[in-house]
Structure 1
Amino acid sequence: MTRKPAIEDAALALFASEGFEGASLGRIADSVGIRKPSIYAHFRSKEDLFLSVFKRTLRRKQQVLFRQVLHGANRPFEDNLYDLAEHLMDEYESDAETRFLLRMSYFPPRSLHDEVMGLVNPFFEQAERSLTRLLQRKENAVRLHPGGAHEAALAYVTVLDGVLAEAIYGSRDTAAKRLKAVWPVYCRGVLRP
């Protein structure tokens, strides 16, 4: 294994647990077993390392989310989407990549705010478009209010945003309670009576 992936892995772990400001290049180098100047052979700066880790993590999570949605494509979409929200809450608790991605999407380093948002916003726009296409499938569209696929997708992203923010700010338990409370309201709002 080249040192670049090892440096990125160590940086991810520290960025996820300590944030951008708390993760020093010295500590990243120590956890890889190299000297700090060796990092500069692969990355121009701490910001460059952060963006590399963020882009890599975003790509990986995009693939995981896509597989998660496809895995339940034969089930009622509302069950699949509920399970996706629960999966993301579980992942936030147990997976450094998810924790890093969510924390840094909500609280990007001030010096990298525009670059991070330039990556995050297209990610969520693509997720919304993909979800809209899923909801436009005949088996789903007939269950929605007429022309409601885009609205149902946007509403889901909004629900998910609120639930994940609660997982970050509060706890998994409070986020789960909020999801459980809002889910019937979401379903009544998007499904035909």
Structure 2
Amino acid sequence: MSAVLSPAAERICQAAILHFAEHHYGSASLNEIATAAGIRKASLYAHFKSKDELYLAAFNRALAVELEHVQQCFEHSNATPLGLQYCRSLQERYAHAPTLRFVLLAAYLQPASLKVTLDEGYEDYLQLLQDRFSDALLHAQPALTAHPAAITQFSVAYLGIVDSLHVKLIYTDGNDFQARLTALEMLLSASLQHTLHTL
């Protein structure tokens, strides 16, 4: 959970999210973040002792926004069941939401000094996706109630789809994203139908 910060520190965090969403940790500039927040770099250190501390505070705020987005996708997914609303939202969200860009950049191109903490945050994100997918699958296919192993298998496969789409965004700027998403949706649907017919 994100710590409560002063209004000034919160403003710095928001500027940091925008900056870190576009720059790898190593090339990020605290001076540019301070300028964007309307303060001097020296004043930034009155709120955050180091670049690492600011990075983590900004990451936690970005992660909280993205966790809420996951919840909303699954709460309003009747027309696109089985977690597909989340998947279909990714390309546009990556283009327009700095919080998602920052979370993925921190997860895949993380500074070594923060690896453990960032990994834990990203794993929390993936766990929420897996849990919500499992819930949606069970709601859509009550016959699977007696087959918890199948639910686990499909939820892990769903995370594989999510990982693949995240990688497509972070490393290729989403080139051929829709083609990959369509193929993965087809495979998930076909596999699920096959499993349901063999129960």
- Provide the TM-score with structure 1 as the length reference: 0.88
Distance 1:65 1:182 in 2: 19
Segments of structure 1 that go 5 or more residues without pairing to the other structure are none
Paired letter, 1:118: E
Distance 1:189 1:111 in 2: 41
Counterpart position of 1:54: 59
Paired letter, 2:116: D
Counterpart position of 1:99: 101
In the alignment of these two chains, the number of paired residues is: 189
Paired letter, 1:66: Q
Preserved contact between residue 11 and residue 23 of structure 1 (Cα < 8 Å): no
Preserved contact between residue 74 and residue 85 of structure 2 (Cα < 8 Å): no
1:73-84 correspondence to structure 2 within 5 Å:
74-75=78-79, 77-78=81-82, 81-84=83-86
Preserved contact between residue 7 and residue 39 of structure 1 (Cα < 8 Å): yes
Preserved contact between residue 138 and residue 144 of structure 2 (Cα < 8 Å): no
Distance 1:77 1:145 in 2: 20
Counterpart position of 1:44: 49
Q: What SS does the corresponding residue of 1:41 show, helix, strand or coil? A: coil
Percent of paired sites with the same residue: 24
> Per-residue CA shift, 1:135-189, capped at 9, x if unaligned?
222x423379944222211111111110120121113241211111222111111
Counterpart position of 2:40: 35
Segments of structure 2 that go 5 or more residues without pairing to the other structure are 1-5
RMSD across aligned positions (CA): 2.1
Preserved contact between residue 92 and residue 98 of structure 1 (Cα < 8 Å): yes
Counterpart position of 1:135: 137
Q: What SS does the corresponding residue of 1:47 show, helix, strand or coil? A: helix
| Aligned: 1:3 with 2:8 | yes
Distance 1:134 1:119 in 2: 23
Distance 2:177 2:129 in 1: 21
Paired letter, 2:97: D
Counterpart position of 2:176: 174
4+ runs deviating over 6 angstroms: none
> Per-residue CA shift, 1:73-127, capped at 9, x if unaligned?
x33624xx22321201211112111111111111111221111112211331232
